[in-house]
Chain A
Amino acid sequence: MLGKHNFVRVAENIWEIPPTFRDDMRVPARVYADEGLLDAALGDNSVVQLVNTATLPGVIRHAIAMPDIHQGYGFPIGGVVATRLPEGVISPGGVGYDINCGVRLLVSLATAEEIRPFLEDVASSLYANCPSGVGSRGHVRLTNTELDRVLQEGSRWMLEKGYASRGDLDRTEEFGRVPGADAGFVSDRARERGRDQLGTLGAGNHFIEADKVAEIYDEAIAARLGIYSGNVAVQIHCGSRGLGHQVCQDYVSRFQKAVRDYGITLPDRELVCAPFDSEEGQEYFHAMACAANFAFANRQLLTHVIRHSFEQVLAGKIKDFELRQVYDIAHNMAKIEEHEIDGHRVRVCVHRKGATRAFGPGSAMLPDDLRDIGHPVLIPGSMGTASYVLIGTTEAMRQTFGSTCHGAGRVMSRAKAKKMVSGAELRDQLRSRGILICAGSMDGLAEEAPVAYKDVSRVVEVVHRLGIGRKVARLEPLAVIKG
């Protein structure tokens, strides 16, 4: 039984399982957590899953878990694993079914107090205009040609169609278009699942949330990002919908044979992988990039609809309600990056599964106007609790392949949460605290109850103290829209 005794404490809040723990480990497994969060991680199977990722061919330095680590399938959620290219592998299960699930943050110059009298109408308008819930369909049904453009161009196609501004693209990871996308590697089945889902939220832990900027920790950085105390912000959390799910399924299924062909032995079949430069590896990468672009376009279309909803309700009533994009980040993705390892620049494939890019100042991947401050990091909390904006750091580049945590992290199963919490009671409790909830399913709401999650503030405090992300601002919810 894996326990705390298997860890070596290498520094404050950094715990390591040495590769001698299991014969098939190629590198140590590292958990970034305080002692309580480590105990929480040991409460489910997530650390075993982390150790499993330390066996992947080509894995380099450490298999890493962030303080929001929890049990997933294959990789743990909150995992970061880099493989050395060209011989290292890419793993579809290391990205997950919701490819480029991510978070977008918009801000306005209007204050929460100005919007509060109209909050009920804003929430209703968002709920009515943004398709959400199981099997939701969007306002747009794409032709094959249009879908190809979305898959290959991502947010750029949305700009052409008038659903985005140039500023939106400048403030999106990869400028809203992941390179390497080739729609020829996306199956007809994936296309069919995604064709009418652009601009939809989905269900599960996905949400749209109107927030108040409750606290600023770094005024200079916050001002550079356009974030000011007391103002209204909006977060969007969703991904690539059925299209991404099918891309992952297609390649996890196909790679079951590929691992045999390449003689790769794995402790879990969900970790199936292929050398990045192999035919299978390349084809998955091209298809994954397409799904990632679909997700960027999806959040962009939702942004357009959210702006329209704000205008519908607030035009002529308050000033400065327009929403400007702070940033859009991915937290399920494999990226080709260069990192400095033992004094050398090394090309790696970084799998972030429930983890966020946190590049420090100077990264060439950042838009010009953010290059001197670093990569914005968006960390949504559980429903009804705070969310955080952080900024990437040089320390993250040094320690975690420029990565940090992505959220609070679950500690309780959905089934147990549903038994413990009534969705309707939770909605009423939150309302009594001034937080409006619009949800399609009371069961779904109960599954996402705050009690099912770790304390996001504690998770953020750990990464802040470790220096792998620096706090900029805290947001508090005003209204939550869920499927």
Chain B
Amino acid sequence: MSFEEIEHTADRAFRVQGQNFAELLKNAARAMSSLDRLGPSGTPSVVRTIEVEGIDREALLVNWLNEILYLEQTNGEVYDRFQILESSNRRLHARLDGRESEGWVTHIKAATFHDLTIKQTPEGLEATIVFDV
């Protein structure tokens, strides 16, 4: 269980799944990172730990993804390993592993709230996330 890209006319969208909320957060970040045309990943040389908040689980999910985009763009880094160290419905603590992007930064503008609902499924949790590109 992980993520799959689904049709969206102008932007990019993923159906993301996870056995629990922490795994959903991690897989959403992996889905987003799969959109970057940054070539094969190298040995991680950058580690960042971050804290993110949101008013509910959906807001926390969007804020988490947008925090990653912000850090990538302003630090000139790219992350491809995501570890949720601790999470609740309104707050998370995570570790990002990556490397300097050597001038290449994400082309994704933002993760959006469009039609975003985290649903319970027999296997765990599922959400559809649309990214503005």
Contact = CB atoms under 8 A, between A and B. Distances in A.
Nearest to B113: A269
B9 A204 contact: no
A204 B106 CA distance: 11
Interface size class of B (residues with CB under 8 A): 35 or more
A138 B107 CA distance: 16
Given A73-B11, A204-B133, A268-B114, A249 B66 contact: yes
Interface string B91-120: 000000000010111110110111110000
Nearest to B8: A413
A443 B115 CA distance: 28
Interface string A381-419: 000000000000000000000000000001111111000
B106 A98 contact: no
A97 B104 contact: no
Contacts of A134: 36-37, 104-107
Nearest to A41: B9
Given A134-B105, A242-B73, A269-B113, A73 B9 contact: no
Contact of B115 (A246, A268, A483): A268
B80 interface: no
A450 B124 CA distance: 40
Interface size class of A (residues with CB under 8 A): 35 or more
Contacts of B10: 70-72, 77, 410, 414
B132 A96 contact: yes
Given A134-B105, A135-B103, A44 B70 contact: no
B101 A135 contact: yes
A270 B112 contact: yes
Contact of B107 (A93, A193, A203, A268): A203
Contacts, number: 109
Contacts of B36: 134
B70 A193 contact: yes
A253 interface: yes
Contacts of B110: 97, 245, 248-249
Q: Lowest 6 CB-CB distances: which A-B pairs, in order?
A: A135-B105, A73-B114, A269-B113, A134-B107, A270-B114, A71-B9
Given A256-B113, A257-B55, A415-B7, 18 more contacts: A70-B10, A71-B8, A72-B114, A73-B130, A97-B109, A134-B37, A134-B104, A134-B105, A135-B104, A135-B105, A135-B107, A193-B70, A242-B73, A252-B113, A268-B114, A269-B114, A414-B10, A444-B37
Interface of A: 44, 46, 70-74, 77, 93, 96-98, 134-135, 137, 189, 192-193, 202-204, 242, 245-246, 248-249, 252-253, 256-257, 268-270, 272, 410-416, 441, 443-444, 483
